[in-house]
Amino acid sequence: MGTHRTAVCRLRRPQQCSSPTCVLLASLLCLAAVRAASIGVGQAARQSRYFLLPGNPYNAKCLDGSPPAYQYRPGYGAASQSWHIHLPGGGWCSSLEKCLERANTKLGSTRGLQRLAGGVPTGQSASRSSSRASNDNGDPDAPPRGITSPDAATNPVFHNWHLVRPVYCDGGGFAGRAGYRAAANGSAGAGVHLDGWRVIHAILADLRANRGMTAPARIVLSGSSAGGQAVVTLCDLMPLLFPRALVKCIMDAGLFVDAEDRTNRRAFAAMVRATVGLHQMRINWQCSQAIPPPNQWRCFFPHQALRHVASPVLVVNSLFDYRALMLGNQLPANQARATACLQQIAREGGTDLLKSIKTQRWRQEPSALAEIQTGGVLTGGGYRGGDLGNRLTSTVEEGDSPGSGAGRRKEAKGAAGGSGEKGMRGTGGVEAAAARSVCDPAEHRAVLNVAWQMIQYTDAAHLELGPTVSTFVTPAIAHCALTSPKWDSLTDKGVTLRDAVTRWYRRPL
C-alpha cells in the first residue's frame, strides 16, 4: 500500500514542484486524499444491510409465513468483538383474529422488506445506508438514533459496535412457541405462524454462522417497549449461547405494570394472559417455579421476572409513558389527548408531583385528587408550576407525538391550556383551569396509580426488581427514550440517560 501511495503522489506532483518543502507538502496532500478514500471505502463497508432467512434450520416464520429478517451494521476498531442487539417494539397480538390482521402489516411480515430490496434471494442481502436504518416505530426509513446511532458524540459507547436489529414480525415478543395456527373459520391457507422463539434463535444462528459472531467478547441486549419486555425473557439466554461473553441488558419502556385502568378493571392483565396462552410464550423458568399454577403467565410482567434474571439489567422507563398508559387503558387511545392530559397533570402537580405520588396522599384523601382538577397542588398550598412541570411540558418522544418540532410542542401546550404558572393565577385562574381540563378524575387516578407502582418497583430501598437491576426513571413524558434523539437531555436525578447508560456499562460486575 505504501508503494502504491508513493507512485500516485509522484504521478500527481506538479512539474514545477522541485523543492523539498514543496515535495513534502504534495506528498502529505496525496496521503490525506488516499486516507480519505480509504475512510470512504470503510464507511461503505459499514452500511446497514437487511438479511432474510428463508429455509433457516429452525423453520422459523413471521406471522404470515414470510422469512425472518434482521438488520446488521458491522462493528470496527476496538469494538470488533462487541455486539449490540436491539429488539424493536410493536406490541403483541392476543387473539388469532388480531394476529391474522397483524400478519398483513409490517409487524407481521417481511414481504414489504423484500419489495423494498427488490426481492432478496437466499444468501444475499439488501444494502441500505446506516443513516436510514430502522427505528422502533417499525419504519425502515427512520434514522438510527440514541443508543443505535453510529455517531461517536451522540453514542460514545456503542457507536462502533456490531449492531443487530431483528425485525419484529411474530407478535409474541420473540417468545412464541405455538407454531402454525389455522384460522377458526377453516379458510384455506388462512392461519398464522406463532414462531417468535424460533425467529430469535434463527437470527442468532445466522449471526454465528455468517456474520462472525463466533466468540464475542461483549454483548449488550437492549429493547424498547415490547422489545424491552422481551429483554427480560432473552437476557439470560445470551450467556448460555455465548458463555465467554460479558453480557449486560437494557430494558427500555418495557416496565409494564398490572394496574387498574380508568374503568377500575385490569384489561391489560387480561390481554397479557391471552397473549401468553395463545403464543405459548417462553417465560423465565425460575419465575414460573416461584409462582404457583395457573398464574405463571404473570412472569410476563418485568417486576415479577426481573428478580430471577442473573445478568445485569438497566431498567429505563418514564413515569409517564403515554404509549403504555394508552395500552393499559389508563388513558384513552387518542395520542394527542393522552399527551395533553399528562402535560396537564405535570403542570398542576408542579414540583411536588413526585413527592405526592410517593406519599400517596391522592390515594388517601379524595380532596387531594379534586385539587388537581382545579389547578391546585397535590400536596396543598396553592399552585406552583416548577421545573418538573416545565420539563414534562416540553419533553415528548420524537415521532410519537402530535405534529413535529416547535409546532408539536405548541400544539401539545395549547391542548392542555398553557404551561407554567402564567395564566393560572389571578382572577378566574382556577375556573379557567377547570374549564380547559382534558383529564377526568378517573384518568388522573389511573395515571398516578401506575406512576406510584413504578416508583415502588424501581426505588432502590425496595429492591423489588432484584439485586442485579439498576434503574433510570425519568419524570418526562416519553416512550422509547433509549432510541430518542433526546436521550442526552432526558434526566433522572440530574443525570442524562446517555451518561447513565455509559456509567452503568462501564461499572465493573
Rounded CA-CA distance 166/505 in Å is: 22
SS3 sequence of 33-84: HHHHHHHHHHHHHCCEEEEECCCCCCCCCCCCCCCCEEEEECCCHHHCCEEE
Instruction: Report the residue count for the chain.
Output: 509
Q: Which residue has the cell 395515571?
A: 447
Which pLDDT value is given to residue 401? Answer: 32
Contacts 24+ apart (CB under 8 A), 434-439: 434/373, 434/374, 434/375, 437/344, 437/373, 438/337, 438/340, 438/341, 438/344, 439/341, 439/344, 439/345
Contact 146, 154 (CB under 8 A): yes
Contact 224, 137 (CB under 8 A): no
Quick check: helix, strand or coil at residue 222? strand
Question: Which is nearest to 471 in space by CA: 501, 433, 430, 446?
Answer: 501
Rounded CA-CA distance 330/315 in Å is: 22
Sign of the four-CA dihedral 444, 450, 452, 454: negative
Quick check: helix, strand or coil at residue 472? strand
Rounded CA-CA distance 220/230 in Å is: 14
Rounded CA-CA distance 321/355 in Å is: 18
Residue 52 CA, chain-centre distance (Å), reads 23
Q: What single-letter DSSP state applies at residue 365?
A: -
Write the CB contacts of 456 (distance below 8 Å, at least 6 apart in sequence): 462, 464
Quick check: helix, strand or coil at residue 229? helix
SS3 sequence of 16-27: CCCCHHHHHHHH
Q: Which residue has the cell 406519599?
A: 359
Q: Where are the alpha helices (DSSP H) in 280-423?
A: 285-290, 302-305, 322-327, 335-349, 353-359, 361-364, 366-373, 386-394, 405-416
Contact 478, 396 (CB under 8 A): yes
Task: State if pTM tops 0.85.
Answer: no
Contact 156, 500 (CB under 8 A): no
Rounded CA-CA distance 261/283 in Å is: 25
Contacts 24+ apart (CB under 8 A), 322-326: 322/400, 322/477, 322/479, 323/225, 323/253, 323/400, 323/479, 323/480, 324/225, 324/253, 324/256, 324/450, 324/479, 325/446, 325/447, 325/450
Per-residue pLDDT of the chain (509 residues; tens, 9 = 90+): 333 333 334 434 445 566 777 667 766 776 665 454 444 434 545 788 899 999 999 999 999 999 999 999 999 999 999 999 999 999 999 999 999 999 999 999 999 887 555 334 334 454 443 333 334 544 555 678 999 999 999 999 999 999 999 999 999 999 999 999 998 776 656 899 999 999 999 999 999 999 999 999 999 999 999 999 999 999 999 999 999 999 999 999 999 999 999 999 999 999 999 999 999 999 998 999 999 999 999 999 999 999 999 999 999 999 899 999 999 999 999 889 998 988 888 776 544 566 566 655 545 555 544 444 443 333 333 223 333 333 333 333 433 332 333 333 333 333 333 323 232 233 333 333 433 567 888 898 899 889 888 888 887 555 577 788 999 998 888 899 999 999 999 998 889 999 999 999 999 87
Which pLDDT value is given to residue 345? Answer: 80
Cell numbers linked to 321: 409513558
